[in-house]
Amino acid sequence: MRDVLIAACSQSERDFAKFLTARNAETFAGLTPSARVALMKRFVLLAEPGKSSLLASPSGRPLVRCETPAGAAELQVGGAEVTDNLAFLPVEIRDATDAVSVNVMHVKMGLVRENGAWKLLSVGLVLLDLPSLAVEWDAAEMESTERAAIDALKKIVDAVEVYRRTYSRLPESLEKLAPPARGAANPDAAGLLDSDSASGAKNGYRFRYVLASSSTLGAPAKFELAATPQNYGRTGRRSFFRDAGGGLHGADRKGAVGSEADPKVE
């Protein structure tokens, strides 16, 4: 359990996966990066990856300190209750500044012996059944990534229009909106989007920018934008399309590119 908490503290996916059953490890590998991090956060109740250290405790039981830029937590592992191939260990989680233990969270961690090694079975009263939990997480994740995709499209539109006003024409590609590698912004690296958005992929969606008129010059020039899930059914279901007139559309296209025939999105 000490090593589980250390892996969760650093948010090391490779180390944490070692303590999952074979069934859960397979599902864990297929989760989105944010879902994998969210699972590890549950063990230390800290938002950022931290640096762990072992402290001396009066009981002689493992005491893990997890230090992050935003704060630290101390996790005290209690004695195990072992029955055949099952073990349950109490874990106390407290803020490192809570010297008198005013607010302490008590969680009982369950482990099961699999192929001679102890693997995580439960967290508190929740059975760690990742294949079942992944369905719920994916649904929540998709809502978040779809909203983020809509916001990203709006930011791309704003960046394209700033580029148009600055250089009196449309950019030939999203790459033209990326930050310059060095020096000042210029028509080939306008610094209007972050590197991920300019590369055409961010937060589980791919973005496609297409010129919709024969010329890129001036205000009459038009463009279209599309956003499609990178992993359909995991990072999103709806495809989004911004038509040349500025209308935004969205529909479940099974991962294919949307069109202006799709319902309008407010």
Query: How much is the pLDDT for 101?
Result: 64
Give the mean pLDDT of the chain.
90
Query: How much is the pLDDT for 100?
Result: 62
Query: How much is the pLDDT for 181?
Result: 92
Query: pLDDT tens-digit profile of 86-140?
Result: 999 999 998 888 766 667 888 899 999 999 999 999 988 778 888 877 777 777 7
Mark residue 23 as left, alpha or beta (left: phi above 0; alpha: psi -120 to 50; beta: remaining): alpha
Query: pLDDT tens-digit profile of 200-224?
Result: 999 889 999 999 887 788 788 999 9
Query: How much is the pLDDT for 129?
Result: 83
Residue range 221-236: mean pLDDT, rounded: 92
| Amino acid code (one letter) for 164 | R
Query: How much is the pLDDT for 132?
Result: 77
| Amino acid code (one letter) for 137 | W
Q: How confident is the model at residue 248 (pLDDT cuts 50, 70, 90)?
A: very high
Is the Cα dihedral 99, 9, 127, 204 positive or negative?
A: positive
Q: Locate 117 and state its tokens.
A: 């090694």
Lowest mean per-residue pLDDT among 58-67, 156-165, 252-261: 58-67
| Percent of the chain at pLDDT exceeding 90 | 65
Residue range 247-262: mean pLDDT, rounded: 96
pTM of the model: 0.59
Chain-centre distance for alpha carbon 153: 19
